[in-house]
Amino acid sequence: MTSFELSDDHRDFRAAVADFAAAEVAPYAEKWDAEHHFPLELIAKMGQFGLFGLHAPEEYGGAGDFTSLCIAIEELGRADQSVGITLEAAVGLGINPIATYGTAEQKDRFLPDLVAGKALAGFGLTEPEAGSDAGATRTRAELADGQWTINGAKQFITNSGTDITSVVTVTARTGTREDGSAEISAIMVPNGTPGFTVEPAYRKLGWHASDTHPLSFSNVTVPEDHLLGKRGKGYGQFLSTLDDGRVAIAALALGCIRACRDLAVAYAKDRTSFGGPIGRKQGVAFQLADLDVAVRTAELLVYSAAALKDAGAADGAPRQGDAQRAEFKRAAAIAKLYATEQAVTATRIATQVFGGYGFIEEFPIARFYRDAKILEIGEGTSEIQRMLIARGLGLPVE
């Protein structure tokens, strides 16, 4: 098991991102949420701060490691979960697949603007009838005369419909293997390609300031060289991408837990009832103690998993041995399962501590409460994480 300890550079970086979030995110989060506003003005500032370049190749303007990315997502998520998921998806689902599997030409075309925050990219995996069972993908891509023709639909795709979205990578069936299973490949579809339609945004329970759309593809044609990675390897690429994403989502959940703890503790010290602060009552104090345990445990799980990633793939390429890959996959699933379920619990506890005020939208607890549930669903449901963990124990679970 890889040990970890945040370096002085990491701690300095955390302080810098916390200051950025306090100045550029927290004062506006309530307004963005209420107006369902995707803050393009913030994206530019995040790009200038270098946040989209975390974990990207240095030759394309990137800097930092996977641990730095998790720190940034956590700190942004403490201020606003919508902003945290925007960064997580932009890097983990938008930039990382291109940086890891793209050709030199694909990287040169897309990465500079993505890393600078001048453009965003999406990753189209989920479909109306292919969510957790991603192998059931129905979107099809046929190759003829040097062109891929794509037909199908995707749903719940983050960063897919913004004014600066440049490309969406989609998984599609490109054939059938000898054993009868689907051959799944990943293909890049630039924004504005004829037949590629970004459908109206969802009316979501939470994450109101993030961009999420269904997508449809009707005889969409792109050149053959828009294949990302090798033909038939799209499913494996997706699984590797999701392992990283699960740790990043766990970091976002950690930001939620930490915010709930800090807000609830401050409120419990100031709110008086029956002649004193409510924090002196064991019924409140013990719940807040549980939140502190959740913060510290989730922190250990998130950053030990991030350390595994950095130790095994320092150059951004998947070079770990089988045992190390299995260890990272299990660590990612454990971190994601624990942190996201504790985030949901943390919002419930914090809302209870705030009482009626916790049900009022002017208080950030209400926003965190709405935002938290999706953490248990996106990038692999809690049930999928338990299945992966059980498999890691050697159980032949289906």
For the chain, helix, strand, coil in percent to 5 are: 55, 15, 25
Please give the helix or strand (H or E) that residue 348 lies within, else none: helix 322-354
How many angstroms separate the CA atoms of 371 and 33, rounded?
10
How many angstroms separate the CA atoms of 158 and 187, rounded?
17
Dihedral angle computed from the Cα positions of residues 72, 212, 94 and 88, in that order, rounded to the nearest 10 degrees: 20
- What are 222's two structure tokens? 């792109």
3-state secondary structure of 362: coil
Query: What's the sign of the alpha-carbon dihedral 64, 113, 95, 164?
Result: positive
3-state secondary structure of 361: coil
Please give the helix or strand (H or E) that residue 294 lies within, else none: helix 282-312
Q: Does the active-site annotation cover 142?
A: no
Which phi and psi (to 5°) does residue 168 adopt? Answer: -125, 125
Whose tokens are 């950095």? That residue is 310
3-state secondary structure of 321: coil
Q: Helix 364-372 vs helix 322-354: angle between axes, to the nearest 10 degrees?
A: 140
- What are 130's two structure tokens? 């292919």
How many angstroms separate the CA atoms of 219 and 88, rounded?
31
How many angstroms separate the CA atoms of 90 and 396, rounded?
34
How many angstroms separate the CA atoms of 176 and 152, rounded?
17
Dihedral angle computed from the Cα positions of residues 16, 18, 21 and 23, in that order, rounded to the nearest 10 degrees: -70
Check 58, 379, 383, 398 and give the catalytic one: 379
How many angstroms separate the CA atoms of 172 and 174, rounded?
6
Q: Which residues are catalytic?
A: 379
